[in-house]
Structure 1
Amino acid sequence: MRNKMIAPLAAALTLALAPLAGHADEGMWKPSQMPELAAQLKARGLELDPASLSDLAGKPLNAVISLGGCTASFVSPQGLVVTNHHCAYGTIQYNSTPERDLLADGFVAASFAEELPADPNARIYVTQAITDVTDRIVEGLDGMDGKDRYDAIEARSKALVAECEQPGGLRCNVYNFNGGLEFSLIRQLEIQDVRLVYAPPAAIGKYGGDEDNFEWPRHTGDWSFLRAYVGKDGKPAPYAKDNVPFEPESWLTVSQEPLQAGDYVMVTGYPGRTNRYRLASEVQDTIEWGYPESVAYFKDYLATIERTTAGDKAAALKYASTIAGINNALKLYQGQLDGFAQMDDPVGMKRAREDALKAWLAGRGAEGRAQVAALAELERELAASEATRERDRWFPSVASGGLTGTAVTLYRNAIEQARPDAERESGYQARDAARLQGRMKSMDKRYDAEVDKALTKLRIERYLAQVPAGSRVPELDAWLGITASDKTVPDLDARLDALYAGSSLGDEAARLALLEADRAAIEASDDAALRFAVQVMPALLRLEDEAEARSGRISALRPKFMQAMIDFNASQGKPVYPDANSSLRITFGTVRGYSPRDAVQMEPFTTLAGIVEKDTGVEPFDAPKAQLDAIAAGKGARYRMASLGDVPVNFLSDVDTTGGNSGSPTLNAKGELVGLLFDGNYESLSADWIFNPDLTRSIHVDTRYMRWAMDEVDHAERLLEEMGLPHD
């Protein structure tokens, strides 16, 4: 099986290499592909051996880590970690109170003893090995379809994970690439004790706020420092006061050489998801329904939180991290819609590409005809899923998050615990127990009953307004006391009041006790939230089975389309790389600006002077007085860039990145740290679907600005010394 599926992919990459120079900035490459790109890397300016970029056990890759949604890197032999401020935002919020608001005021630990524990579910993942397991996953799948195929892939993946995780302290997962054409088992060291070391105040770390998000020019100090701790035996362990700093195999060196326009840079990280190989119908559904639906909902969601937290700082702090995430997603989706609107028929572009693919396949005999047939079947399967898209979106939303989601999780956990571990649903196996407990422990920090009640009402109203009568869920309608034709619930407020007043799940001790309860105990409970969970669980399981059957059918079709597309792209000299899927990737390019429209040129660097120019004294442009004073006094001459005559703050490059890359180290030609990737420009947001090399840029915070602020404003000299850096 491997020879039929993987060998053509490697050949396709080889075919695409020769003409790649014009496309070198497109592509989120797997480490294993880097030796094949040696000529392009050297041409761009890489001074390292390209083979070192495929060595997971060597520097720099073994210093690049995942936070489970963001990227970070080790920068000292004592487990010091640097990432984005917005990636550490949840940890900063977790440790904030109305009396000690670390989000607003910032935090600098003066010693190891003062470093603060993060959320119980905070993790640091160090990738140790990536192993191709395609043969073990796909062998014998031919002839399987639907739920049987899904279950077979799931069972084989779980078996591989269990085998991989036998030694303690590891987290393993099976990732699929190119829609299931390839599968890899990724083994990571899982560090459970993560602590907050340093975060600048929001007026630096989030300067410009949501107004500047995804915009250029930027002047944001988007960095924070964490530390990894382990048990005294050096092995990962839950938080304990006497744990010790983790000693990584290697760590990144912060460059002290000047970074200039035109210099080579590369980003290593864990990009979340791109959709560049999606079909025209999927792009159309996203433009016409998916993203507009999300944008409208996010606006109402934010308005609901704003209304219900007004005048209540404690509640506002609990939802600060949620608000930041929703605001980011809102602007991201709207930016993608705006980007699509600027294109000349993006759906038509995709459809023309598919038509060209079909024409090319027509000349490839029986194999080509089989691939065309698979594509047609895939299109039919995707079209069928649109019939229930409103139900599949809004019903689960009512049963997720906050009180109702907690009740559903506790009931599902009780159901799954009665099964052998290998047969339990992912998320409820023995390997997940600590995470479930962490969720129950940390809920109080991000939950307010009145706010959550208003958000639950919003979700129910969305369900009632958006789901057609023929797709409604009887179990939820029965709980609401309505029929499928009803669009309102006359006594909804009273029902929600009874739900929240009749539940004890707002209490941590009650939640933790219920993690140990069996199914019968939960089904016999008179807790109002648990009664809700028991009533809707049959529908949740039924829809889950439907979704898994559909996923199984698609998993038999999309790999055939992807193999055809890979071969087609390679025949035209186009880059051949998998869509992002949260696995470790490398992207490379140069420091350079762009022209978003006629007669407008965006330069690649911003400076301290720009902070002063933007400052209004009012959030989000309210630079701290200490920072403004340091700028006015001309402090930190060692950090200035000669060609600018000022300290560089942020810079642009043409590296290809997406969400999940936040916090990724930006490295120079020698593999030294010169910045942290934290954003993309607004014009590039639709590049997740359709890449445009002229407009796609990534935004980085310059380490010279980070060092300047640590030295001259926040007085984090202890950390500069730990990283081996001089200071004033």
Structure 2
Amino acid sequence: MIKRLLVAVLLLSVTFPALADEGMWLPMLIKRLNYEDMQKKGLKLTPEEIYSVNQASLKDAIVSFGGFCTGEVISKEGLVLTNHHCGYGSIQEHSTLEHDYLTDGFWATSKQHELPNPKLFVRFLVRMEDVTDQVKAAVNSSMSDEERSKGIGQAMREIAKKAEEGNDYQVDVKPLFKGNAYYMFVYETYRDVRLVGTPPSSIGKYGGDTDNWMWPRHTGDFSLFRIYMSPDGKPASYDPKNVPFKPKHYLPVSLDGVQEGDFAMIMGYPGSTKRYLSSYGVKEALDVSYALRIKLMQTKLEILKQDMSADDKTRIQYASKYASTANYWKYLIGQTKGLKRLRVYDKKQKEENEFASWVKADSKRTDEFGKVLPELEHGFKMMTDYSAPIQYSIFVPYLTEFIYFTRRFQGLQPFLAEDEKAEGLEEYTEALKPMVEEYFKDYSAKVDKKVFRALLEMYYKEVSDEYRPDVFAAVNNVKFGEDGEKSAADFDQLVDYIFENSFLFEEDKLMAFLNNPSAEAFKNDPAMNVADAFIDNSRMVQGKVAEASKEIARGERGYIKALMMMHPDKAYYPDANSTMRVTYGQTLAYDPADAVHYDLYTTLDGVMEKEDPTNPEFVVPAKLKSLWEAKDYGQYANDKGELVTCFLSNNDITGGNSGSPVINGKGELIGTAFDGNWEAMSGDIAFEPDVQRTISVDIRYTLFIIDKFAGASHLIDEMTLVKTPKEATSKKRSKKKKKSRRKKN
């Protein structure tokens, strides 16, 4: 117990003296860890106004949007603001050749015209709680890895089950600091979320892949949704009788804009970081795994781009899929370059050398932590040996649509194994039919065939025989060419056979199978057999690296525990894991390279400077250009008469933070975070304070597009707009200038 309490003290009760702008902090710990520093930077709120269980607070206006982004409630009628790219999938699903909302945008003129999205949901955090002692009570030091994992898992499930009793909440218990701490997160989920408005892609996706991750940006990356609830105020699935959600708190919207050095806080749901990754992990990523992922995704992107350019239907079908893959592909390229440029591997090695010296200086520390670095080194050496099989076994099935889709049908096998009329079969097949209709709406067998053909041949050429699925043998025992190396003709023949002889590639054939399913048809279908071969192969490869994963987990858990003991005067924040976090800092320009300076914000003038009518990524809508020419910005211009589009801050974010609110010191919305900058793409592994920046849409540009461009002023009327009197603003700027002069002197 004493040791557990000591770890808790090290985790929660220390101060963070140096890197205040770094960190994805748990909101319930802000009062203890960060509040004093946040006040110095300009925060005017109390800790309870940020996070509270017993009263309305900022956390009650922040939602996990679909489980992959963040959104914020900005009206008393449940209006939610998030990124255009976060709403992109829903926008695409509603788009057709007749109603191309991706190209033209969409604005509901009334609540009755808002569009439902059955797959979309939002989650509100009700509370979080430290349950470390409860979880760790289930294990002891004499347990094996398997016993420890089983005990931890059982304890987490029991805690979650107990917390869900007597309510409609959803509970997650998650490990933090690689298993040195455990926290419970209680959520309330709303599943009736409707599309309210979105600008055309020429605004919401302006700059496309070219500008992605780059500064300066001029993208109006936002979309609007609305949460609905049942008439009695409870979460409910879509129903026309549902009413707009009444939030505990919603964010007022500031018209003041930002100045250099303003306080900026972001609350959201960052997905995943690896800030404690060892030098061995960095080396494996740089040398092997990232390069393989980039190559596989680039192959798919080239095929998609060619077919999307040739056909509008395909363009609409694959718009969201292409954007998602392209985003991750470019991110990996940027992260690879960033890790090398910033010499993160060397920095990690230096930290580990200091750690090794600290361990050797004390016999007790040697006994407890002496194996940590050898375990990490050996574990990642094994991972490196298996990198190609691992990456191909994961990414080829993921990037090939039909293989990924067959997972929906795996549950049919138990019904068909013994009796075609087994109880529950009809109910199961009926549940699959809507999924089939949805799938084929945005599916092209022609495109998927090209992707599968290209990735399959890459798999065979770059992975040794023992670690790749034998899809040739999986296809009804049909032989294609000679044994051993396969020729291009063999791959062509195999892929042609699969796509011509499976019921999986045409909606009518698949529906016919579901109407009259048979064990024989399922067993002999070549696409199903190929998918099974990939699944079996993936399990085999994962089994091979299981021991490596255990070694790495042990090493990382011990390494983080030791770091906390090495530096008891430093507060450590846990890696992101899709739970709510707060990051705070300032609005700041930066110098990305020698003799290069980037300003704090961009304006609509820059949109026009980039305009290129021949390039789909840089087309400017005629109405936007007309408003710019007339300088018709209304109340949304800054004091210089400029319309600010995007701005920078040094907040610490990652994927999942997309759509997060940027909040000023008074708790008002000033922007919506949507990207990081190219020079700091190593940020998921190593935060670089000099160059790490968050790129956000200025809220005034969002309001301008809604009001002046779209004419949807009824949505503006819902919001609470606030503006500081000019006299107070002038005094604030004067103080900042004086403070700046004092710093220079």
Q: Distance in 2 between matches of 1:462 and 1:13?
A: 49
Is 1:363 the counterpart of 2:361 in the alignment? yes
Q: Distance in 2 between matches of 1:722 and 1:364?
A: 63
The Cα shift of 1:125 comes to 1.1
CA change 1:584–1:258 in 2 (3 A) is same
**Aligned pairs for 1:80-159 within 5 A:** 80-118=79-117, 120-138=118-136, 139-140=138-139, 142-159=141-158
Is 1:608 the counterpart of 2:604 in the alignment? yes
Is 1:658 the counterpart of 2:654 in the alignment? yes
Q: Distance in 1 between matches of 2:168 and 2:508?
A: 27
Structure 1 SS opposite 2:503: coil
TM-score using structure 2 length: 0.87
- Count of equivalent residues: 704
Q: Is the 8 Å Cα contact of residues 147 and 549 (structure 1) preserved in structure 2?
A: no
Deviates more, 1:99-108 or 1:321-330: 321-330
Per-residue Cα deviation, 1:133-156 (whole angstroms, up to 9, x for no partner):
334444225444455544444444
Identify the residue that residue 582 of structure 1 maps to in structure 2. 578
The Cα shift of 1:307 comes to 2.9
Q: Is the 8 Å Cα contact of residues 269 and 657 (structure 2) preserved in structure 1?
A: yes
The Cα shift of 1:662 comes to 0.7
Structure 1 SS opposite 2:232: coil
Amino acid at match of 1:668: N
Is 1:630 the counterpart of 2:627 in the alignment? yes
Q: Distance in 1 between matches of 2:164 and 2:183?
A: 15
Is 1:340 the counterpart of 2:336 in the alignment? no
Amino acid at match of 1:369: D
Q: Is the 8 Å Cα contact of residues 145 and 553 (structure 1) preserved in structure 2?
A: no
The Cα shift of 1:600 comes to 2.2
CA change 1:537–1:596 in 2 (3 A) is closer
What's the Cα RMSD here? 3.1
Q: Is the 8 Å Cα contact of residues 12 and 567 (structure 1) preserved in structure 2?
A: no
Deviates more, 1:89-98 or 1:548-557: 548-557
**Aligned pairs for 1:306-455 within 5 A:** 306-343=305-342, 345-400=343-398, 401-411=400-410, 440=436, 442-455=438-451
The Cα shift of 1:501 comes to 3.0
Q: Distance in 2 between matches of 1:410 and 1:635?
A: 55
Amino acid at match of 1:8: V
Q: Distance in 1 between matches of 2:262 and 2:416?
A: 55
**Aligned pairs for 1:551-566 within 5 A:** 551-566=549-564
Q: Is the 8 Å Cα contact of residues 64 and 268 (structure 1) preserved in structure 2?
A: yes
Q: Distance in 2 between matches of 1:721 and 1:114?
A: 18
CA change 1:473–1:621 in 2 (3 A) is closer
Q: Is the 8 Å Cα contact of residues 411 and 533 (structure 1) preserved in structure 2?
A: no
CA change 1:534–1:278 in 2 (3 A) is closer
Q: Distance in 1 between matches of 2:144 and 2:515?
A: 36
Q: Distance in 1 between matches of 2:93 and 2:349?
A: 47
Q: Distance in 2 between matches of 1:340 and 1:392?
A: 22
Identify the residue that residue 420 of structure 2 maps to in structure 1. none
Q: Distance in 2 between matches of 1:433 and 1:254?
A: 48
**Aligned pairs for 1:538-549 within 5 A:** 538-546=536-544
The Cα shift of 1:329 comes to 1.5
Q: Distance in 2 between matches of 1:707 and 1:685?
A: 30
CA change 1:489–1:311 in 2 (3 A) is closer
Q: Is the 8 Å Cα contact of residues 287 and 337 (structure 1) preserved in structure 2?
A: yes
Q: Distance in 2 between matches of 1:162 and 1:522?
A: 41
Identify the residue that residue 41 of structure 2 maps to in structure 1. 44
Amino acid at match of 2:182: F
Identify the residue that residue 53 of structure 1 maps to in structure 2. 50
Is 1:226 the counterpart of 2:225 in the alignment? yes
Is 1:176 the counterpart of 2:175 in the alignment? yes
The Cα shift of 1:372 comes to 2.4
The Cα shift of 1:106 comes to 0.3
Is 1:669 the counterpart of 2:668 in the alignment? no
Identify the residue that residue 206 of structure 1 maps to in structure 2. 205
Larger Rg: 2
Q: Is the 8 Å Cα contact of residues 280 and 350 (structure 1) preserved in structure 2?
A: yes
Q: Is the 8 Å Cα contact of residues 470 and 484 (structure 1) preserved in structure 2?
A: no
Per-residue Cα deviation, 1:199-221 (whole angstroms, up to 9, x for no partner):
00111111111111111111111
Identify the residue that residue 275 of structure 1 maps to in structure 2. 274
Per-residue Cα deviation, 1:351-378 (whole angstroms, up to 9, x for no partner):
1110101111222431343212133223
Deviates more, 1:195-204 or 1:494-503: 494-503
The Cα shift of 1:42 comes to 0.8
Is 1:680 the counterpart of 2:676 in the alignment? yes
The Cα shift of 1:34 comes to 0.5
Q: Is the 8 Å Cα contact of residues 308 and 450 (structure 1) preserved in structure 2?
A: no
Amino acid at match of 1:566: M
Amino acid at match of 1:23: L
TM-score using structure 1 length: 0.89
Q: Is the 8 Å Cα contact of residues 299 and 455 (structure 2) preserved in structure 1?
A: no
**Alignment identity in percent?**
32
Identify the residue that residue 695 of structure 2 maps to in structure 1. 699
Deviates more, 1:549-558 or 1:581-590: 549-558
Q: Distance in 2 between matches of 1:242 and 1:526?
A: 47
Structure 2 SS opposite 1:97: coil
CA change 1:362–1:84 in 2 (3 A) is same
Amino acid at match of 1:633: A
Q: Distance in 2 between matches of 1:475 and 1:165?
A: 45
The Cα shift of 1:239 comes to 2.3
Q: Distance in 1 between matches of 2:129 and 2:349?
A: 35
CA change 1:722–1:446 in 2 (3 A) is same
Q: Is the 8 Å Cα contact of residues 523 and 534 (structure 1) preserved in structure 2?
A: no
Structure 2 SS opposite 1:332: helix
Amino acid at match of 2:116: P
Structure 1 SS opposite 2:378: helix
Per-residue Cα deviation, 1:30-82 (whole angstroms, up to 9, x for no partner):
11220121110111110001343332563211111111111101111221110
Is 1:528 the counterpart of 2:560 in the alignment? no
Q: Is the 8 Å Cα contact of residues 72 and 82 (structure 1) preserved in structure 2?
A: yes
Q: Distance in 1 between matches of 2:416 and 2:689?
A: 50
Structure 2 SS opposite 1:23: coil
The Cα shift of 1:543 comes to 4.1
Identify the residue that residue 295 of structure 2 maps to in structure 1. 296
Amino acid at match of 2:633: G
Q: Distance in 1 between matches of 2:368 and 2:432?
A: 45
CA change 1:719–1:388 in 2 (3 A) is same
Q: Is the 8 Å Cα contact of residues 653 and 699 (structure 1) preserved in structure 2?
A: yes
Deviates more, 1:43-52 or 1:141-150: 141-150
Deviates more, 1:278-287 or 1:257-266: 257-266
Q: Is the 8 Å Cα contact of residues 339 and 345 (structure 2) preserved in structure 1?
A: no
**Aligned pairs for 1:243-262 within 5 A:** 243-262=242-261
Unmatched tracts of structure 2, length 5 or more: 418-427, 724-745
The Cα shift of 1:532 comes to 3.1
Q: Is the 8 Å Cα contact of residues 671 and 699 (structure 2) preserved in structure 1?
A: yes
Q: Is the 8 Å Cα contact of residues 472 and 484 (structure 1) preserved in structure 2?
A: no
Per-residue Cα deviation, 1:480-510 (whole angstroms, up to 9, x for no partner):
8579953556432232233233333356698
Q: Distance in 1 between matches of 2:340 and 2:512?
A: 52
The Cα shift of 1:625 comes to 1.0
Amino acid at match of 2:494: R
CA change 1:481–1:589 in 2 (3 A) is farther
Unmatched tracts of structure 1, length 5 or more: 419-431
The Cα shift of 1:516 comes to 12
